[in-house]
Every structure is written in C-alpha cells, then in structure tokens.
Chains A and B, each alone.
Chain A
Amino acid sequence: QQQVRQSPQSLTVWEGETAILNCSYEDSTFNYFPWYQQFPGEGPALLISIRSVSDKKEDGRFTIFFNKREKKLSLHITDSQPGDSATYFCAASESNYQLIWGSGTKLIIKP
C-alpha cells in the first residue's frame, strides 16, 4: 500500500516557468514532510521541509504549499533553471518515526 503518492511521474517545463510537483498522503498522523532533491549519480539531499502546523514554507524559489484537510502538498519551483533538473522525492513521517517515501517526480527544465 503506497502511503505517499507523487504526481506527475515526470514533468518538463521551460526555463523561467513555474514547476509544480504534487504529493498526497494517507496517514493523518504524519506531521513532517521533507522534499529531497536527487541529481543523477548522487544521493538525495534535503531541499526543503514543512511541518503540519504550517500551511506554507518558502526558501528562495522553492515553496511548499500544505493542505492538511485534503492531505495534499505541492512543491512550487518558480523561475525554473536548467540546474533544477533532478528527481524530487516527497516523504512523510509521524514525529520520530521513519520516513515514508514517494516514488519521485523527474523534472526536466528545457532552456
């Protein structure tokens, strides 16, 4: 049973556009939601995270929007750059328990 779902599986946008990556979850006890960025040949690295007490978290061009009622969140990447091309993983956990990972969204930014 997949508890964290990501869509789309892959996404292509033009440089300068806003990329929107979606994530949904099933367990209402999840309260920590990190997004990890992975470049080819490398391990994932934490990009940005949000806790369920907030509905928005911003870090430069990256913003998480969180809807607790619908159990959905999204990662918005504004002014997309070719260097943002990577796979993005949404994950979720309850307090100190292990992370549950989505299957990832492969983002391609066309110059």
Chain B
Amino acid sequence: EAGVTQSPTHLIKTRGQQATLRCSPISGHTSVYWYQQALGLGLQFLLWYDEGEERNRGNFPPRFSGRQFPNYSSELNVNALELEDSALYLCASSSSEGTRETQYFGPGTRLLVL
C-alpha cells in the first residue's frame, strides 16, 4: 500500500513569492493534515481538511491557506513568503475513524525562502 506522498521534495523561493505544496493521502483516507517543522520550533499544526472542508487551523497567518480536492488530495499555499517560512512541511493523512484516528506522515517538502 502506498504511503502519503508529497511534492515537490524541495522548493526554493524568494521573499514575496508564492509556494504551492501538494499532498496525496493514503488510499481510503479522507483527512489530510499539514504541519510545519521549523528549526528550533518543532512540529506545529497548520491545517486540517476532511471531506473537502477545512476543519481546523493552527496559529498561522491567513497567507497560509489550502484546499482539499474531491479525490482527497490537498494543496498548501503560502503567499507573500517570508524568510521564516523556511521549514519542512509535513502532510499526514488519516482514515477518520471518529476520535481513534492515527495520522500517517509523508516525507515532507523542504521549503527554502531566500
């Protein structure tokens, strides 16, 4: 069974540009989560999508946004990039087993903002 996949693996942008990161969940999973793993800040929750709807967002500015497509894949968009957005962005998927869900993580997209 294929795991969570993310693209691209690496992304280099300059300040002010926009970045788009993509995630394909495990087959059968309907929930997608996005996390940011920045140096020194650990793993921080960004966004949660389930059945095409945004269910929750973390403490990030509105320039972090995303969406979930009918096939449950997801996109994370970061507008007006800032240097501190440089981080590993992790996507996780789960099968929405009510409250007993387990999140499985992809390899991440490493974003570097110059």
A and B together in one complex: no
**Which B residues contact A (CB, under 8 angstroms)?**
none
